[in-house]
């Protein structure tokens, strides 16, 4: 996994983080161990935070500056500070580089406690980016586009954009046409259309759970069924 920090201000909120949601870890004894490779000096940041997606509510953080980084792999340890109590639910582990424009390769990342238990899934990236996610609390453009159409073209290509547009049109045609008498029709139509309205100026598909909800709502709108009596009442009289 390759990380590169931007050339903008790299304060705590602006860091581009490689993150993973974890179970609530113990209050003490946590150590982040990273196998890294870089061609220049390193400044690493590791943290365990109580956070939902953005904007933490308390972190246990550690930074490590390595001036003699070379082209080979090296193992670095970052002990995290102890906490008064165990970090609650919605706990996220993150790692970031604080060296602007300096590529950093990660071969493996481990988060272990005093008993040696591993708290991360896919720590060596053998499953690609599975379980990992990229965010920044305040500098958002490096990890998502502020437009759903642009997001789809970048992530899935023109075919992905065309597919979702056709599904959306099919759902809207259904709820304003033959299914307009269904009690859920207006709500589903408004929900699907609302996602596209918000998506014109922001990102709504960068989190898998939101993308899943949009697809579920679209599918529901296209598969609603009216009872036979309702179909007769909604048709022309006489």
| 126-136 tens-digit pLDDT | 999 999 999 99
CA distances from 218 to 49, 126, 201 (A): 34, 34, 20
The structure's pTM equals 0.77
At 230, the pLDDT band (50, 70, 90 cuts) reads: low
How far is Cα 44 from Cα 38, in angstroms, rounded to an integer?
11
Tokens representing residue 213 in the block = 């909800």
Span between the terminal Cα atoms of the chain, in Å: 68
- What residues contact residue 89 under an 8 Å CB cut-off, 6+ apart? 24
Q: Considering the chain, what percentage of its residues have pLDDT values greater than 70?
A: 92
What gap in Å lies between CA 164 and CA 205, rounded to an integer? 12
Q: What is the pLDDT of residues 14-54, one digit of tens each?
A: 999 999 999 989 999 999 999 999 888 889 999 999 998 88
Is 45 in contact with 61 (CB distance < 8 Å)? yes
Give CA–CA dist 91/88, Å, rounded: 6
Q: Are 97 and 42 in contact (CB under 8 A)?
A: yes
Q: Helices (H) and strands (E) in the chain — how many of each?
A: 4, 9
Q: Are 66 and 35 in contact (CB under 8 A)?
A: no
Mean pLDDT check: name the lowest of 30-34, 86-90, 137-141: 86-90
Q: What is the mean pLDDT of residues 77-93?
A: 86
């Amino acid at each position: 996994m390759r990380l590169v920090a931007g050339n903008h201000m790299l304060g705590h909120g602006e860091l581009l983080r490689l993150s993973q949601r974890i179970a609530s870890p113990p209050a003490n004894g946590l150590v982040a161990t990273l196998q890294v490779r870089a061609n220049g000096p390193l400044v690493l940041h590791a943290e365990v935070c109580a956070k939902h997606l953005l904007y933490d509510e308390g972190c246990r953080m550690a930074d490590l500056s390595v001036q003699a980084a070379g082209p080979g792999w090296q193992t670095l340890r970052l002990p995290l500070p102890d906490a008064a109590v165990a970090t609650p639910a919605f706990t996220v582990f993150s790692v970031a580089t604080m060296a602007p424009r300096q590529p950093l390769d990660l071969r493996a990342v481990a988060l272990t406690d005093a008993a040696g238990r591993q708290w991360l899934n896919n720590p060596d990236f053998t499953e690609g980016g599975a379980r990992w996610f990229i965010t920044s609390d305040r500098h958002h453009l490096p990890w998502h586009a502020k437009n759903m159409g642009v997001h789809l073209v970048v992530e899935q290509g023109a075919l992905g954009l065309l597919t979702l547009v056709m599904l959306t049109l099919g759902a809207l045609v259904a709820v304003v046409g033959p299914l307009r008498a269904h009690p859920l029709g207006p709500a589903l139509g408004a929900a699907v259309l609302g996602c596209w309205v918000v998506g014109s100026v922001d990102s709504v598909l960068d989190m898998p759970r939101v993308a899943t909800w949009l697809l579920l709502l679209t599918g529901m709108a296209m598969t609603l069924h009216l009872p036979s009596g309702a179909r007769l009442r909604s048709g022309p009289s006489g």
